[in-house]
Amino acid sequence: MGIRAAVLFACLVCLAALPEAAHAQWHQRADAIMGTRIYVELWDTNAVDGEASIDAVMAEMRRIDNLMSHYKPESELSQINAHAAERPVQVDPELFDLIKLSTHYSQITDGAFDITYASVGYLYNYPNHTKPSEAQIKAALPAVNWRNLQFDEAHHTVRFEHAGMRIDLGGIGKGYAVDRGIDILKKRGIQHAVVTAGGDSRIMGDHMGRPWLVAIRHPDDETKVVTRIPLSDAAMSTSGDYERFFDENGVRYHHIIDPHTGHSASKVRSATIIGPTATQTDGMSKTAFVLGPEKALEIINRMPEYDAVFVAPDGRVLYSNGLRPPEPRPAGAAESAAPGGATPDVGNPNQRVASPDAVAPKSAPK
């Protein structure tokens, strides 16, 4: 083939490829599953495949919810809560493994993360503004202790060694579901995607060669951003005292409970953990509420694969060693970008994942 013919051939090949490339695009969808907002966004060259991939992730979220929800009386998790104090309850190996894994996070967080918190946690009802009395807390608290979960590996059974125990996977189930969603997308050949469930997100790949920017909201104002973190191939979980709460006589009663006291844990207003998988970051994002930001930073800084951003009750923002706080703005420099506007909402509003094109030019003052 002469040079001209080769060039012509190459052009024809390019032209033939064009229609497919022209259809490559981001596909996104939000749905309400697991009592929260699920969001999936992915890049695919084929619109039908892209939508089918989103369907597959949503179906997986529903499957996990049916297995692990403590709100659904027919779920396997509810069967554990109903019977495990009387006898070992056999469960699906997947649920068994996640319950067992949750005790690993109890171990590395000095018991700040403890799925048996539910033994007292069930006495709170945030939408109804009800909370237990001190006497009720005192009576329920002895049942809170992850060490009283007994596992039988051979038979996949779980047993409670204390009467009155309950478990609830609300603090790790969404992160787990996000990871399952990402696995499904990987198996389908997707290379760029975001999956979010409530405060838990995981990003696969990047956004057209640049990281995604994930905004952490201000605890008291969802339109204000505390900071933005560039992320690719990483997970991020944010927990906040503004998600499910009520205020009474100047006290905030919210959904993250200190397993040692049975009260809402209030040593930070919000905690964001960044790490390899959403199961990991979800398992770690409650720690600072219970142990306080300094102790939580000590733990995070010992584990090189994690980073953290905490908002303290006095408004201070604390970063782990791997993250540099933004440089102070030089006098006269332009104000950094106001949030909202171009940034699409992802998950519940404590995190927003935005394409870098949407925010980078505004947030990088020269």
Interface with ligand ADP (CB under 6 A): 113-115, 117, 121, 168, 170-171, 174, 198-200, 237, 239, 243, 255-257, 259, 282, 285-286, 290
Q: Which two tokens stand for residue 170?
A: 């609300």
CB 249 within 8 A of CB 173: no
Q: Name the residue nearer to ligand ADP (CB basis): 143 or 358.
A: 143
Q: Name the residue nearer to ligand ADP (CB basis): 53 or 239.
A: 239
If one asks whether residue 132 binds Mg ion (CB under 5 A), the answer comes out as no
CB 68 within 8 A of CB 169: yes
Nearest 5°: phi and psi at 299?
Answer: -65, -50
Q: Name the residue nearer to Mg ion (CB basis): 176 or 319.
A: 176
DSSP3 helix / strand / coil % (the chain, rounded to 5): 35, 25, 40
Question: Comparing C-alpha atoms, which of 360, 276, 278, 363 is closest to residue 322?
Answer: 276
**Binding residue count for Mg ion, defined by CB under 5 A:** 4
If one asks whether residue 240 binds Mg ion (CB under 5 A), the answer comes out as no
Partners of residue 228 on adjacent β-strands: 215
Partners of residue 213 on adjacent β-strands: 230, 354
| Partner interacting with residue 339 (select from Mg ion, ligand ADP, none; CB below 5-8 Å by kind) | none
On the CB side of 310, how many CA atoms lie within 13 Å of its CA? 25
- Nearest approach, Cβ of 74 to ligand ADP (angstroms)? 19
- Nearest approach, Cβ of 311 to ligand ADP (angstroms)? 13
Question: Comparing C-alpha atoms, which of 290, 293, 283 is closest to residue 259?
Answer: 290
Q: Name the residue nearer to ligand ADP (CB basis): 39 or 117.
A: 117
- Nearest approach, Cβ of 168 to ligand ADP (angstroms)? 5
| Partner interacting with residue 117 (select from Mg ion, ligand ADP, none; CB below 5-8 Å by kind) | ligand ADP
* SS3 category, 310: strand
Of 6-14, 65-73, 168-176, 244-252, which segment contacts Mg ion by CB under 5 A? 168-176
Q: Name the residue nearer to Mg ion (CB basis): 181 or 199.
A: 199
| Partner interacting with residue 259 (select from Mg ion, ligand ADP, none; CB below 5-8 Å by kind) | ligand ADP
Of 11-19, 123-131, 166-174, 217-225, which segment contacts Mg ion by CB under 5 A? 166-174
- Say which amino acid occupies 185: L
| Partner interacting with residue 256 (select from Mg ion, ligand ADP, none; CB below 5-8 Å by kind) | ligand ADP
Question: Comparing C-alpha atoms, which of 85, 81, 102, 76 is closest to residue 156?
Answer: 76
Question: Comparing C-alpha atoms, which of 201, 204, 205 is closest to residue 235?
Answer: 201
Q: How many residues does the chain have?
A: 366
Binding residues (CB under 5 A) for Mg ion: these are 174, 199-200, 282
